[in-house]
Amino acid sequence: MHIDILTLFPEMFDGVLNHSIMKRAQDKGAFSCQTINFREYTTNKHNKVDDYPYGGGAGLVLTPQPIFDAIEAIRPEGHEKTRVILMCPQGEPYTQAKAEELSKEDQLIFICGHYEGYDERIRQELVTDEISIGDYVLTGGELGAMVVMDSVVRLLPDVLGNEQSASEDSFSSGLLEHPHYTRPAEFRGQHVPDVLLSGNHAKIAEWRHYESLKRTFMRRPDLLEQRELTDQEQKWVHKWKKS
């Protein structure tokens, strides 16, 4: 996969791209990335990329010309269907399912804006996906793009040391992840559940499923509304509702 990031502040991505999973993924050749300061594409004699909104109002709006020219320069000819992602509080709420969908693409282009917003023609003509990482407003789209990139890159083949890790993450199965324990078996009077020390893999899998469903029921019951529960899961949920 190749990722292009259109931003006025490319240096913001240095830390994210040069550490941890993101760096290792690049070293493995799982993905490549370039940050592009779209100010370099402006034809404005004062090097401006924003202007006052028609009709008045507070703030400044990103002009279409630099964004259009930058995308046309980096998107290969004949690849008009390349996913162009606009980080925007008006976009669809970001989910693990969306991360899995994007991880199957060969190229992603992120547009990170600042100021009051974008000229609407950018949305209409260039953008394929508008994504929001939450119902709040950030100074710019850079932090949101970092979140999406991280969640997508970790799903690429051979990025994680254990391929099962991604599939067992919270939300990948539609449930929150089960509790985890490690050594020592007893710490300050708190003990690891006996089943995890039993060596009985079937019982361990059942315990993890039970705890995953219970944690989802207690913390994010809205997720269960989207899930078709098995007979056993229904029995467990019924028990918790009664308790």
pLDDT tens-digit map of 5-38: 999 999 999 999 999 999 999 999 999 999 999 9
pLDDT at 47 over 90: yes
User: How much is the pLDDT for 164?
Assistant: 52
Task: Say whether 137 counts as a known binding-site residue.
Answer: yes
Q: State residue 163's pLDDT score.
A: 60
What's the pLDDT at 118? 92
Q: With 60 as the cut, is the pLDDT of residue 116 above it?
A: yes
Exactly one of 100, 116, 130, 233 is catalytic; name it. Answer: 116
Q: What is the dihedral of CA 163, 169, 171, 175, to 10 degrees?
A: 120
State the average pLDDT over residues 216-227: 95
- Between residues 56 and 114, the one the model is more confident about: 56
- Is residue 138 marked as binding? yes
What is the rounded distance in angstroms from the CA atom of residue 213 to the CA atom of residue 229? Answer: 10
Which long-range contacts link 96-100 to residues 24+ away (Cβ below 8 Å)?
Answer: 96/151, 96/169, 96/170, 96/171, 96/172, 97/171, 98/131, 99/148, 99/151, 99/152, 99/155, 100/155, 100/172
Spatial neighbors of 88 by CB under 8 A, at least 6 apart, are 113, 118, 130, 131, 132, 141
The residue among 192 and 57 whose pLDDT is bigger is: 192
Residues 6+ apart with CB under 8 A from 218: 240
User: What confidence score (pLDDT) does residue 79 get?
Assistant: 81
10 included as an active-site residue: no
Q: b/e map of 162-189 (b: 16 or more CB within 10 Å)?
A: eeeebeebbbbbebbbbeeeeeeeeeee
Q: Which of 169, 177, 211, 233 is catalytic?
A: 169
Catalytic: which of 39, 69, 75, 89?
89
Q: What is the mean pLDDT of residues 89-117?
A: 94
136 is in an annotated binding site: yes
Domains of the chain: 2-153 (3.40.1280.10), 173-242 (1.10.1270.20)
pLDDT given for residue 165 in this prediction: 63
Q: Is 89 known to be catalytic? A: yes
Q: Give me the mean pLDDT over the 152-176 stretch.
A: 78
In this prediction, residues 165-182 reach a mean pLDDT of: 79
pLDDT-based confidence at 76, cuts 50/70/90? confident
Average pLDDT, the chain: 93
Q: Is 116 a catalytic residue?
A: yes
State the pLDDT at residue 6: 98
Of the candidates 64, 66, 142, 154, the residue annotated as catalytic is 154
Residue type, 146: M
Q: Hey, what long-range contacts does 172-177 have (CB within 8 A, 24 or more apart)?
A: 172/96, 172/100, 173/212, 174/223, 174/226, 174/227, 175/212, 175/213, 175/215, 175/216, 175/223, 175/227, 176/212, 176/215, 176/216, 176/219, 176/220, 176/223, 177/212, 177/215
> Is residue 148 classed as helix, strand or coil in its secondary structure?
helix
Mean pLDDT for 219-241 is: 96
pLDDT at 154: 96
